Amino acid sequence: MEPLPEEAPPGAYGGSRLTTGFDIPDARAFAGRGDLATAEPEGDAGALDGEILQAIADQASWMTDLLADLVRAPTTLGNEESGQKVIEQALLDIGMDPVDVPLDADQLRAHPLAAPFDWDVSGKRNVVSTWAPDEGSGGRSLILNGHIDVVSPEPLGQWGADDPFGARREDEWMIGRGAADMKCGLAAILGAVKGLRSLGVVPGAPLTIESVVEEECSGNGTLQTVLAGYTADAAVIAEPFGAAITTSQVGVLWFSVRITGVPGHAAEGQHATNAIEKSLAVIGALRSLEADLNAVPPAPYDLFTHPINLNVGTISGGDWASTVPGECETGYRIAMYPHMSIEELKGRVEAAVTEATSDQPGAAEVRYNGFSSNGYEIADDHPLVTTLAHSFATQSGAPPALVSTTGTTDAAVLGNVASIPTVCFGPYAESAHGVGERVYLPSVMQTAQVLGLFVRDWCGLR
């Protein structure tokens, strides 16, 4: 989406249909609202609104401190445990009982919709906790989900004097890897529940908090919670889309192409086959596939100028400057529309690779490891969407935007695998996965307040 014009008032995009790669690019949606805890009460319902908003506003410093502790935990792939310990302690602090849901490699690999993986998952765990009424149920159950894992902060040299895991404050922003994606959402979830619990209420149906691993590479962490039996009438993932409800997302496929060429001395390179150079031909063929996929995008992705993105993410080849490299492996990520199947996209990838390497001595092999996820959509008029939109409007005085995104989230796992209606809604953030990743702290409290009202509206409170 293009940035809002400079004269746009705060919240100007409320209620509209937006597109976004990941960020909503204007923090002014959160500006100018004054004290977010002081909604004008109208009657009994309005008075309860005010109590909820104030109780959660009282947790603002606690949420900021929790977020800082989470950012300081460098939870890259394989190192998630330090962050899960912070979540576990925060749950205990608010009087909830954390439960471990360990990753089971055999169980995951046996599931037809699990993403393929070759790394060790032993010792990894999701942390889950359920807040439920003692008896009976008069409301609808809910999952509030967030992921603890973050991507690598490399290249470190581009962060300058900043420690990527330093959780530095600058005015109303917190800077650091994971501050945006998506530890801010976890802080908002826990702050919302802490505020509600301080009022002495209980939900009318089970409310489950999930801190999951491996969202950034497979979605298998959330899948493991599904296999463990955790389900609900709806789910909200607190990804940082900022003042917007995400109702549509693309699917994602990770793959690598391994080229086996013919090595030789550089002085006689005409008699060899350079695997690195052949990989460039493969990249060109895959760029052509990307262009084809973007030629006639279906709605709502026709609002994007370039909805399907191919990323050349890794490359490894050669070991000596004077030797024609005989091997090269390149890693890719490509997106697909929600109506496309993974198998269809795999077929088109493999056809492109075959065409680009058909004249070479040697071999080309396509391998799949990591993300293999279909897209996901939920109707704009689904009760989950309309109820959350009402909760947002109660807090902010304006309706939220509805968003389609060219990124992917664990909504695809909850929605496609478990048939749990799912949306994303979370704080305003910038530069996710990039240098200087940061979150606007007032939006963390706003998200918590909206979630608190939504728990009341969806689950009911006693």
pLDDT, one tens digit per residue, over 106-142 is: 999 999 999 999 999 999 999 999 999 987 667 999 9
Q: Is the pLDDT of residue 361 over 80?
A: no
- Measuring CA to CA, which residue among 385, 382, 377 is closest to residue 416? 377
* Mean pLDDT of all residues in 374-400: 96
Token output for 211: 């801190």
- Beta-carbon contacts of 50 under 8 Å, excluding residues fewer than 6 positions away, are 37, 38, 39, 41
Provide the pLDDT confidence category of residue 28 given band limits of 50, 70 and 90. Answer: very low
| DSSP codes joined into one string, 156-210 | GGGGTT--TTS-EEETTEEESTTIIIIIHHHHHHHHHHHHHHHTT--BSS-EEEE
Q: How far apart are CA 14 and CA 398, in angstroms?
A: 6
Q: How far apart are CA 145 and CA 422, in angstroms?
A: 10
Q: How far apart are CA 130 and CA 335, in angstroms?
A: 34
Decide: 287 and 358 in contact? Cβ < 8 Å: no
Q: How far apart are CA 54 and CA 38, in angstroms?
A: 7
Residue 132 exposure: Cα atoms within 13 Å on the Cβ side: 14
Token output for 73: 């935990």
Q: Which residue has the higher pLDDT, 23 or 183?
A: 183
Q: How far apart are CA 83 and CA 90, in angstroms?
A: 11
* Mean pLDDT of all residues in 216-226: 97
Decide: 196 and 52 in contact? Cβ < 8 Å: yes
- Beta-carbon contacts of 205 under 8 Å, excluding residues fewer than 6 positions away, are 132, 133, 137, 138, 139, 140, 141, 142, 233, 459, 460
Q: How far apart are CA 429 and CA 80, in angstroms?
A: 22
pLDDT of residue 45: 53
pLDDT of residue 14: 36
Decide: 212 and 148 in contact? Cβ < 8 Å: yes
* Mean pLDDT of all residues in 158-186: 97
Peptide bond just before 155 cis, omega within 30 deg? yes
Q: What percent of the chain has pLDDT over 90?
A: 84
Provide the pLDDT confidence category of residue 2 given band limits of 50, 70 and 90. Answer: very low
Mean pLDDT, the chain, as a whole number?
89
Peptide bond just before 263 cis, omega within 30 deg? no
Q: How far apart are CA 402 and CA 117, in angstroms?
A: 33
Least confident of 28-42, 73-87, 134-148, 221-235: 28-42
Residue type, 56: I
Provide the pLDDT confidence category of residue 273 given band limits of 50, 70 and 90. Answer: confident
pLDDT tens figures, 29-75: 333 222 333 333 334 455 589 999 999 999 999 999 999 999 999 99
Token output for 15: 């209620």
| Cα end-to-end distance, the chain, whole Å | 41
Provide the pLDDT confidence category of residue 271 given band limits of 50, 70 and 90. Answer: confident
- Sign, CA dihedral 40-45-49-51, equals positive
* Mean pLDDT of all residues in 344-356: 96
Q: How far apart are CA 445 and CA 58, in angstroms?
A: 10
Architecture of the structural domain at 17-248+376-458: 3-Layer(aba) Sandwich (3.40)
Q: What are phi and psi of 337, to 5 degrees?
A: -70, 155
Token output for 74: 């460098």
Residue type, 58: D
Decide: 51 and 265 in contact? Cβ < 8 Å: no
Q: What are phi and psi of 316, to 5 degrees?
A: -145, 125
**Domain residues of the chain, as ranges?**
17-248+376-458, 251-373
Q: CATH 3.40.30.10: does it fit domain 251-373?
A: no
| pTM of this structure | 0.89
pLDDT of residue 22: 38
Least confident of 113-122, 258-267, 284-293, 379-388: 258-267
- Fold: same for 17-248+376-458 and 251-373: no
Q: Is the pLDDT of residue 204 over 80?
A: yes
